[in-house]
Amino acid sequence: MRTILTDGLIRLIDYHADTSSVPYILDEFGSYIFETPYDTTDKTFPECTLDRPAGASPNGRMFIVNHFLDYGVLGITFPDQIDASVTNSVSSILAQSDICLGGYGRLPNFVLVSSIPPSSIRTEGGFSWPRNLRSDVLTLEGSNSWTG
């Protein structure tokens, strides 16, 4: 991975990476990253457990916190965009991150959110951050469009 880093761009794929054919596309969950459960329906985000890859150790891996809220209707889950501004607030993200810190002794490398209003994003050093979130604490990765 160090060699790839000096070349610039790294891409991670969650399944079917073939580094012998395409050395710059790495197996995300094979050796590099673990993630917390997704499709959470509890607004308090009370956990930071290793969900994927199943049975892996968190040691030596970066980790993703899936911090997006769903609601269920007849056993089907949908993104809860109505509460996105509360779900993706700094206090909510940091509360779950503190749970992770307690469990792993470190903060998450990435936080995934389902949607975030453009007005709450600031750009700093080429990266996008939620406004008022300490940039030394979390990296915000990806979001869907905001419809609120």
Whether 6 is in a domain gets the answer no
pLDDT above 70 as % of the chain: 72
Q: What is the pLDDT of residues 25-66, one digit of tens each?
A: 888 888 899 999 988 999 999 999 999 999 999 999 999 999
Q: How large is the average pLDDT for residues 119-132? A: 50
Whether 112 is in a domain gets the answer yes
Q: What is the pLDDT of residues 127-148, one digit of tens each?
A: 444 544 444 444 444 433 333 2
Contact 62, 33 (CB under 8 A): yes
CA distances from 129 to 18, 36, 44, 53, 115 (A): 32, 21, 22, 27, 13
First to last CA, the chain: 40
Whether 93 is in a domain gets the answer yes
C-alpha 140: how far from its chain's center? 7
Phi, psi (deg, nearest 5) at residue 52: -140, 130
Provide the 10 A C-beta neighbour count for residue 41: 10
Strands 62-66 and 33-35: parallel
**Tokens at 25, concatenated:** 């596309």
Residue 14's pLDDT is 83
Query: Domain range spanning residue 82?
Result: 31-141
Number of domains in the chain: 1
CB contact set of 44 (below 8 Å; sequence gap of 6+): 95
Provide the 10 A C-beta neighbour count for residue 118: 9
Whether 24 is in a domain gets the answer no
Q: Which of 106 and 88 is assigned the larger pLDDT?
A: 106
Provide the 10 A C-beta neighbour count for residue 29: 19
